[in-house]
Amino acid sequence: MVLVVVAGICICLASGFVENPPEASVIGHRYYGWPLVWRITKTLLPEEYRYFELFIDCLIWIVVALIVMLLAKKLMRKRKSGRINNRNQKQ
């Protein structure tokens, strides 16, 4: 479970390098973060971080990582039980 949280946070922070421009924006501003914009760079001004959006973005990626982990566990169990059934049929 800790690995899922760490993976979700890492993916969230990595999304801060993905540009995500809105349809209408201020000229000279660049928007980063996916699916929510949480980092904004402005020409000749310091970067702006939206911490609430960053938190929600981390939660989204943690849920995605949890779903992937659960699906992987389910597939591994199916695969393992399939191997056991095949061995029993051969004997």
Which domain does 68 fall in, by range? 2-90
How many structural domains comprise the chain?
1
Mean pLDDT is lowest, of 5-9, 32-36, 60-64, 75-79, for: 75-79
pLDDT per residue over 26-47, tens digit each? 888 999 999 999 999 999 999 9
CA separation, residue 91 to residues 21, 44, 49, 77, 86 (Å): 61, 74, 63, 22, 9
**Higher per-residue pLDDT: 59 or 27:** 59
Predicted local distance difference test score (pLDDT) of residue 84: 57
- State the DSSP string of 11-79: HHHHGGGSB---SS--TTEEEE-SSS--EEEETTEEEEE-HHHHHHHHHHHHHHHHHHHHHHHHHHHHH
pTM (2 d.p.): 0.80
